[in-house]
């Protein structure tokens, strides 16, 4: 089954695009968890609150931190290393687009490493 996380980039300031991205991205993280839980020796990874972003800068900071924690837990099982994905300022358009590219690359590597492509 191919990845549900096909739209890995959307326009800066596009709230609807961000919403669509959040849903497919969250579902892909659940897919990683399900894959790890289905192994002969199951690996159970916590589900973090990354389906929505609650209010303003604090909400986005919480989302980024939760998202990074989830990645930190699954990276070793996929043989992936990466930057700290919470270290970004989405108010700066150039950082936003650079983060989307790095994040999409990491998800592509996680997909291969976990065999969910």
Domain-wise residue ranges, the chain: 15-114
CA pair distance 85, 52, nearest whole angstrom: 17
CB under 8 Å to 1, separation ≥6 — which residues?
116
Per-residue confidence at 92, pLDDT binned at 50, 70, 90? very high
Per-residue confidence at 6, pLDDT binned at 50, 70, 90? low
Per-residue confidence at 74, pLDDT binned at 50, 70, 90? very high
Burial label for 114, CB within 10 Å (0-12, 13-18, 19+), is buried
DSSP 25-91: HHHHHHHHHHHHHTSSS----PPPS-S---SHHHHHHHHHHHHHHHHHHHHHHHT-----TT---TT
Q: What is the pTM of this model?
A: 0.91
In whole numbers, what is the pLDDT of the chain averaged over residues?
91
Query: Taking the CA atoms of the chain, what radius of gyration do you get in angstroms?
Result: 14
Mean pLDDT (whole number) for 24-29: 94
Lowest mean pLDDT among 5-9, 70-74, 82-86, 102-106: 5-9
């Amino acid at each position: 089954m191919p990845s549900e996380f096909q739209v890995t980039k959307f326009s800066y300031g596009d709230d609807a695009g961000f919403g669509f991205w959040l849903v497919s991205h969250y579902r892909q993280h659940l897919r990683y968890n399900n894959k790890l839980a289905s192994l002969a020796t199951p690996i159970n990874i916590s589900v973090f609150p990354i389906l929505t972003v609650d209010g303003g800068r604090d909400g986005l900071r919480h989302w980024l931190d939760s998202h990074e924690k989830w990645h930190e837990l699954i990276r070793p099982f996929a043989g992936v290393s990466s930057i700290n994905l919470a270290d970004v300022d989405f108010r700066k358009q150039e950082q936003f687009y650079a983060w989307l590219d790095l994040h999409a690359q990491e998800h592509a590597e996680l997909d291969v490493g976990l065999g969910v492509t």
